[in-house]
């Protein structure tokens, strides 16, 4: 178990991160209108509070540009040294077609330019279709760019254990795999965690508070309709809850989490985050932020103030024992995308 009072984690040599990572999918649309100035002001507040690690992607609308503009403002307001405190992790999510060296170079150059950096802290690679074997070419070209310094650390997102194994067997060094991991979606516990432990690979978890469904807001509430669920994130994880065991079982889980949260003077979202952060090989939990719209920053900071005990974990696991096995229904990590 990890000491929960530690906010920082050494993801790789020369790469310390905040264990609660700010997720930027929310600026890509489907989560309300993002006002650029309010978003940039919020980014500064998160940064000043120590939430210095950002998760983004080439496909998250203006997310990479936000990082670029934010870096500019940090230089103006605090000086260039302040940039040493930020870690920004982007993704490359290409179409599963033929991949050439020049395509890879062009895509990475585009991210470098939008983010206004000379080297990417962590590049997370996603691939939609394992039947198309060009992902291995892509990873080899990305490794070359790591050797030239355009990428500091190479990582994956949504890869299953079998393909992660094939990549490691090809001598490609992988720092982390970003995957869905929550009290509801425990598929990483079946194979991924033990493989990562063996190969010194870290996990970055997303969806750990199910888009906000794992919170006081939904305790005792009737099952929400699709219209009531007004973000892409809420709709995504509601589908996961339906597959997991449905709304009644979810309500039992929320009541249990609510009791645990009260005991620790914390919130349900804190308990859900803390539970995943304490799992082996988990470096951080990415929590989506609706910059300039909704602010959970101070509440989420509380995750570092307590540790769950064995009885807390036992009561959570007892409810999950009544759910469907998502590994059986969906498959390994990332299979929901394929
Ligand atoms: N690699 C991938 O394929 C992939 C897929 C999905 C996500 N991600 C990454 O992971 C990040 C997080 O994932 P996600 O957004 O899907 O799921 P999430 O973090 O579980 O959900 C984010 C939402 O949770 C709510 N929330 C945050 N803190 C809260 C609190 N203390 N109490 C109550 N509600 C709270 C907010 O909703 P409100 O604003 O409505 O309050 C927020 O928009 C994304 O931004 C993205 O960077 C990656």
pTM, 2 dp: 0.98
The answer, yes or no, to whether residue 134 has pLDDT greater than 90, is yes
Q: Burial, 22: exposed, middle or buried (Cβ in 10 Å; 0-12, 13-18, 19+)? A: buried
The answer, yes or no, to whether residue 106 has pLDDT greater than 90, is yes
* pLDDT value of residue 6: 80
Cβ-Cβ contacts under 8 Å for 61 (sequence gap 6 or more): 27, 28, 29
Closest-CA residue to 316 (of 239, 277, 258) = 258
Q: What is the pLDDT of residues 319-335, one digit of tens each?
A: 999 999 999 999 999 99
The CA R_g of the chain, rounded to the nearest whole Å, is 19
Residues in the ligand 1 pocket, defined by CB under 6 Å: 23-26, 55, 157-158, 178, 206-212, 215, 231, 233, 267, 269, 286-288, 290, 294, 296, 299-300
The answer, yes or no, to whether residue 5 has pLDDT greater than 70, is no
The number of angstroms, rounded, from the C-alpha of 189 to the middle of its chain's C-alpha atoms is 16
Separation of 302 CA from ligand 1 center, angstroms? Answer: 17
Q: Return the best residue to mutate from 32, 205, 211 for the ligand 1 pocket (most ligand atoms within 8 A of CB).
A: 211
Is residue 176 within 8 Å of 147, Cβ to Cβ?
A: no
The answer, yes or no, to whether residue 3 has pLDDT greater than 80, is no
Cα–Cα distance measured from residue 222 to residue 240, given in angstroms and rounded to the nearest whole number: 17
* pLDDT value of residue 112: 98
Geometric angle at alpha carbon 45, from 41 and 46, rounded to 5°: 115
* pLDDT value of residue 75: 98
Cα–Cα distance measured from residue 237 to residue 242, given in angstroms and rounded to the nearest whole number: 9
Q: What is the pLDDT of residues 141-165, one digit of tens each?
A: 999 999 999 999 999 999 999 999 9
Lowest mean pLDDT among 6-10, 34-38, 130-134, 249-253: 6-10
Counting from 1 in the atom list of ligand 1, the atom nearest the Cα of 236 is 16
Q: What is the mean pLDDT of the segment spanning 304-326?
A: 97
* pLDDT value of residue 4: 47
Geometric angle at alpha carbon 151, from 148 and 157, rounded to 5°: 140
In sequence order, what DSSP letters do the residues of 99-139 get, joined into one string?
A: --HHHHHHHHHHHHHHHT-SSBSEEEE--S-TTSTHHHHHH
Closest-CA residue to 115 (of 50, 70, 180, 166) = 70
* pLDDT value of residue 206: 98
How much helix, strand and coil, in percent to the nearest 5, is found in the chain?
50, 15, 40
Q: Name the residue with the closest Cα to ligand 1, atom 23.
A: 211
Average pLDDT of the residues of the chain: 96
Three-class secondary structure of residue 211 per DSSP: helix
Cα–Cα distance measured from residue 22 to residue 295, given in angstroms and rounded to the nearest whole number: 12
Backbone angles phi, psi at 163, to 5 degrees: -75, -30
* Residue 11 tokens, joined: 């993801």
The answer, yes or no, to whether residue 2 has pLDDT greater than 80, is no
In sequence order, what DSSP letters do the residues of 280-314 get, joined into one string?
A: TTEEEEEEE--TTT---HHHHHGGGG----HHHHH
Separation of 286 CA from ligand 1 center, angstroms? Answer: 7
Q: Return the best residue to mutate from 22, 23, 43, 272 for the ligand 1 pocket (most ligand atoms within 8 A of CB).
A: 23
Helix (H) or strand (E) holding 237: helix 232-244
Q: What is the pLDDT of residues 57-93, one digit of tens each?
A: 999 999 999 999 999 999 999 999 999 999 999 999 9
Counting from 1 in the atom list of ligand 1, the atom nearest the Cα of 334 is 3
């Amino acid at each position: 178990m990890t000491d929960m009072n530690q906010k920082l984690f050494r993801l790789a040599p020369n790469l310390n991160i905040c264990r609660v990572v700010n997720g930027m999918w929310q600026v890509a649309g489907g989560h309300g209108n993002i006002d650029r100035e309010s978003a940039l002001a919020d980014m500064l507040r998160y940064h000043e509070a120590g939430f210095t690690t950002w998760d983004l992607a080439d496909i998250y609308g203006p997310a990479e540009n936000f990082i670029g503009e934010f870096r500019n403002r940090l230089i103006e307001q605090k000086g260039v040294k302040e940039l040493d405190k930020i870690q920004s992790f982007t993704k490359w999510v290409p179409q599963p077609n033929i991949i050439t060296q020049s395509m890879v170079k062009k895509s990475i150059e585009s991210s470098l330019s939008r983010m206004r950096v000379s080297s990417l802290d962590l590049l997370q690679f996603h691939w939609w279709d394992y039947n198309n074997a060009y992902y291995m070419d892509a990873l080899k070209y990305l490794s070359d760019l790591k050797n030239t310094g355009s990428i500091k650390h190479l990582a994956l997102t949504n890869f299953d254990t079998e393909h992660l194994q094939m990549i490691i067997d090809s001598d490609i060094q992988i720092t982390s795999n970003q995957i869905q991991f929550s009290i509801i979606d425990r598929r990483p516990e079946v194979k991924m965690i033990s493989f990562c432990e063996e190969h010194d690979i870290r996990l970055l978890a997303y969806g750990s508070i199910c888009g906000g469904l794992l919170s006081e807001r939904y305790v005792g509430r009737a099952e929400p309709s699709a219209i009531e669920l007004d973000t892409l994130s809420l709709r995504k994880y509601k589908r996961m809850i339906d597959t997991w065991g449905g709304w009644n079982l979810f309500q039992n889980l929320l009541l249990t989490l609510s009791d645990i949260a009260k005991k620790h003077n914390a919130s349900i979202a804190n308990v859900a985050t803390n539970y995943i952060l304490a799992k082996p090989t988990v470096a951080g939990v990415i929590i989506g932020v609706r910059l300039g719209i909704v602010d959970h920053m101070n509440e989420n900071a509380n995750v570092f103030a307590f540790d769950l005990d064995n009885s807390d974990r036992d009561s959570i696991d007892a409810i999950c024992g009544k759910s469907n096995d998502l590994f059986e229904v969906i498959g390994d990590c990332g299979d929901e995308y394929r």
